[in-house]
Copies of this chain bind each other. A is one copy, B any other.
Amino acid sequence: MSTRTDAQAEIGRLLVCGEDRPGIVATVSTLLSEFDANIIALDQYSTDPEGGRFFQRTEFHMPHLSARLDDVKDALDKAITRGLGMTWELIERKTPKRVAIFASKSDHCLLDLLWRCRRGDLSMHISMVVSNHPDLSRDVRQFGIPYFHVPVDKHDRATAENRHVELLCGNVDLVVLARYMQVLSGDFLDRIGVPVINIHHSFLPAFIGAGPYQKAKDRGVKLIGATAHYVTEDLDEGPIIEQDAIRVTHKATTADLTRRGADVERQVLARAVAWHCDDRVIRDGRTTVVFSGNT
Contact = CB atoms under 8 A, between A and B. Distances in A.
A219 B25 contact: no
A121 B107 CA distance: 13
Classify chain A: how many residues form its interface, as a range: 35 or more
A155 interface: no
A205 B225 contact: no
Contacts of A288: 220, 250
Interface string A1-28: 1110000000000000000111111100
A119 interface: yes
Given A286-B220, A288-B250, A40 B49 contact: yes
Most buried by B among A21, A220, A242, A267: A220
Interface of A: 1-3, 20-26, 29-30, 32-33, 36-46, 49, 61, 107-108, 111, 115, 119, 121, 142, 203-207, 218-223, 225, 239-245, 248-253, 255-256, 259-260, 263, 267, 284, 286-290, 292-295
27 contacts: A1-B256, A2-B253, A22-B38, A25-B25, A25-B33, A26-B29, A40-B46, A40-B49, A43-B43, A45-B251, A107-B115, A111-B115, A142-B142, A204-B206, A204-B221, A205-B221, A206-B206, A218-B286, A219-B286, A220-B240, A222-B243, A222-B290, A223-B244, A248-B294, A249-B292, A250-B288, A263-B267
